[in-house]
Chain A
Amino acid sequence: GDSVTQMEGPVTLSEEAFLTINCTYTATGYPSLFWYVQYPGEGLQLLLKATKADDKGSNKGFEATYRKETTSFHLEKGSVQVSDSAVYFCVFGYNQGGKLIFGQGTELSVKP
């Protein structure tokens, strides 16, 4: 069945460190892939997306590339800031049906 697995948190980094949050998926079809972010006390926000293989989604310095051969969509940022502290969710969905499948979330804490 469809599922998403992402690396467990919490992840604690110092400011300006490099970030990677791994995400792999199992899909029965050809999904679109997303990263959502949940800042403390707020709702989920779409961070970036990729709708087909080899697409790269990017936003606010974050990037993720849709790798069909490895069924992965790892999130990266070259230099994190304290304001990036949040929970990050790897998600996928199909064009039809509208249902989203969420990974378990990875909590990121960035220290000054």
Chain B
Amino acid sequence: GAVVSQHPSWVICKSGTSVKIECRSLDFQATTMFWYRQFPKQSLMLMATSNEGSKATYEQGVEKDKFLINHASLTLSTLTVTSAHPEDSSFYICSARDGAAEKNYGYTFGSGTRLTVV
């Protein structure tokens, strides 16, 4: 079945540095990818939607200059947390939708990235 590989699974970085998280669809073309943030014991909050080859659409309240999203190919999207601060520590999850099955709710999720900013 469809697989989304998210890397790294966890990362610790110093305050002020930037961190890049990758999300790859391994056996299908993902025209649309979604980035979520999950706080402990809470739901997933959609941060942005990215379509291949175009700028990401950010949800209200999400800083686009802080959370840079690139979706340069049909199999890869990246989220870069720039100038990270401790309040950015969270669990980040990507999800990809199979572009060849628009009416099939084939959302596939990555296993998530635990970011800790110290």
Contact = CB atoms under 8 A, between A and B. Distances in A.
A93 B49 CA distance: 14
Interface residues on A, range: 20 to 34
Contact of B111 (A42, A46, A89, A104): A42
B46 A104 contact: no
A98 B43 contact: no
Contacts, number: 45
Contact of B46 (A51, A100, A105): A100
A103 B49 CA distance: 19
B32 A89 contact: no
Interface residues of B, number: 20
A93 B6 CA distance: 23
A45 B103 CA distance: 18
A42 B114 CA distance: 12
Interface of B: 4, 6, 32, 34, 41-44, 46, 49, 93, 95, 97, 103, 105, 107, 109-112
Interface of A: 32, 34, 36, 42-46, 49, 51, 89, 93, 95, 98-100, 102-105, 107
